[in-house]
Amino acid sequence: MTSQWSAPTAHGPVHATVPVPGSKSITNRALVLSALADGPSALHAPLRSRDTALMAAALVALGAGIEDGPDGSWLVTPRALRGPAAVDCGLAGTVMRFLPPAAALAVGEIVFDGDEHARVRPMGTILNALRALGADVDGEALPFTLHGKGGLPGGEVTIDASASSQFVSGLLLSAARYESGVTVLHDGKPVPSLPHIEMTVSMLREAGVVVDDAEPNAWRVEPGPVAAREWHVEPDLSNATPFLAAAAVTGGEVTIPGWPATTTQPGGAVRGIFGRFGCEVTLDERGLTVRGPGRLTGVDLDLRDESELTPTVVALAALAEGRTRIRGVAHIRGHETDRIAALAAEVNRLGGAAEETEDGLVITPRPLHGGTWRAYADHRMATAGAIVGLVVPGVGVDDIASTTKTIPDFPGMWATMLGTTAHGTR
């Protein structure tokens, strides 16, 4: 799958029911909490993708036991964490930002590294915070080395988390195991993707950890045990959005079964977003169903809390009638790639009109033509290209394999939805 993938063009409205794998965000948080728990835990319906495989492998390298259970579950047995160990972060923000605070509980030297682009992703915030809490770390970005002392004093730390909510979540997930717990104070521009922090807090409380988040921009985790438990992983709602988008751009109907009535996943916001574009959105016992209109309408959206949905929204906007403005996503320049620049470049490459702004994009629809849509080794860029290709013949995505980061077999799922082969041919 290293050659260019021909994005299939839909020859009519798409009608399908598409089950999607489990949430990456929930799976990787549950893996960390299970490795720090006071007994064995189980993850039911976890996502098995590159990002979660990297997290599991990293925890095993640090000493945890992770085995396959029945029905695709993961059984996690916590053990004393230790080095020496080498952690491959790949391009996974959750691994590079959630694991160092846990590794600080180990004894020994732990070396962190990752993919080439991972080495330019912001890491100084989490590493400096760990130093302030008593850790010994060499380096400011990947690769770096953590000299584990078997624990940390903990305490209060002030950070600027405006580049990523993962800095807060990473510190909170391991905080109960520090001698004094941890209080994280944010000082800076608003924290993006706050629902991801709410997810972290909710899961900590499910594991019996005491968390005080009553004050804005402040989170206090009390020291204490992390309870072993059974984790039931929801479908990944952000990964569901490209399939729902297939209904939106073709005037069809797609249902995602198992959609939760309530969720802390940012992807839950797609219900309102698709509605703004003119779609009919229904949540019932079958799941979440999106029915596409005759033509999508442009929108003005602040996606600060749901920034991971930006590539899908841009794909919809490029195929809509009327201008779309996306705000509040300046921080996605530091994601797997500079997503603002990448999205503008690829829409414009196919004949569209996308303009970068300080905190987002403005898309003015124009007739698009075929050509190569570059993925920049970014899974969400790749799926955005697939959406455009449903309507625009001749679109090729240069790196569809990047989708394995969070979706084990995106081409196969896309083909099943459309009734085509995985190579995009009928």
Q: What is the mean pLDDT of residues 219-231?
A: 98
pLDDT of residue 426 exceeding 80, the answer is: no
pLDDT for 406 beyond 90: no
Neighbours of 70 (CB within 10 A): 8
* Across 294-310, average pLDDT: 94
At 70, the pLDDT band (50, 70, 90 cuts) reads confident
Q: Quick one: three-class SS letters along 66-113?
A: EEECHHHCEEEECCCCECCEEEECCCCHHHHHHHHHHHCCCEEEEEEE
Mean pLDDT, rounded, for 288-314: 95
Which tokens hold the place of 203?
A: 């899961």
Tens of pLDDT, residues 356-378: 999 999 999 999 999 999 999 99
Whole-number percent of the chain with pLDDT over 90? 92
Q: Is 286 annotated as a binding residue?
A: no
Rounded to whole angstroms, how far apart are CA atoms 231 and 234?
A: 10
- For tokens 């290709």, the residue is 389
Among 245-249, 286-290, 404-408, whose mean pLDDT is lowest? Answer: 404-408
Residue 425 has pLDDT above 60, yes or no: no
- Does 325 appear as a known binding residue? no
34 carries a ligand binding annotation: no
pLDDT at 420: 62
Q: Give the 3-state secondary structure of residue 163.
A: coil
The answer to whether 6 is a known ligand-binding residue is: no
Place 133 in a pLDDT band, splitting at 50, 70 and 90.
very high
165 is an annotated ligand-binding site residue: yes
Q: Is 73 annotated as a binding residue?
A: no
Does the annotation flag 265 for ligand binding?
A: no
**Percent of the chain surpassing pLDDT 70:** 98
C-alpha separations of 159 from 132, 156, 197, 206 in Å: 10, 10, 15, 26
Is 360 strand, coil or helix? strand
Q: In what order do the strands lie in the sheet with 324-327?
A: 300-302, 324-327, 360-364, 353-357
All structural domains of the chain, each given as residue ranges with its CATH number in brackets, are: 5-21+236-418 (3.65.10.10), 24-212 (3.65.10.10)
Q: Is 209 helix (H, G, I), strand (E, B) or coil?
A: coil
pLDDT over 80 (residue 422) = no
Q: How confident is the model at residue 336 (pLDDT cuts 50, 70, 90)?
A: confident
Tell me the pLDDT tens digit for each residue of 145-154. 999 999 999 9
How much is the mean pLDDT over the chain? 95
DSSP 8-state symbol, 307: G
Q: What is the pLDDT, as a whole number, of residue 2?
A: 53
Angstrom distances, CA of residue 252 to CA of 10, 313, 376, 418, 419: 10, 17, 29, 11, 14
| 151 touches 178 (CB < 8 A) | yes
- Residue 242: CB partners within 8 Å, gap ≥ 6? 312, 383, 384, 386, 387, 414
3-state helix, strand, coil in the chain (%, to 5): 35, 25, 40
Exactly one of 253, 308, 336, 346 is catalytic; name it.
Answer: 308
Please indicate whether residue 308 is annotated as part of the active site: yes
Q: What is d(CA 158, CA 98) in angstroms, rounded to the nearest whole number?
A: 17
Average pLDDT over residues 27-46: 98
Please report, as a single letter, which amino acid is at residue 26. I
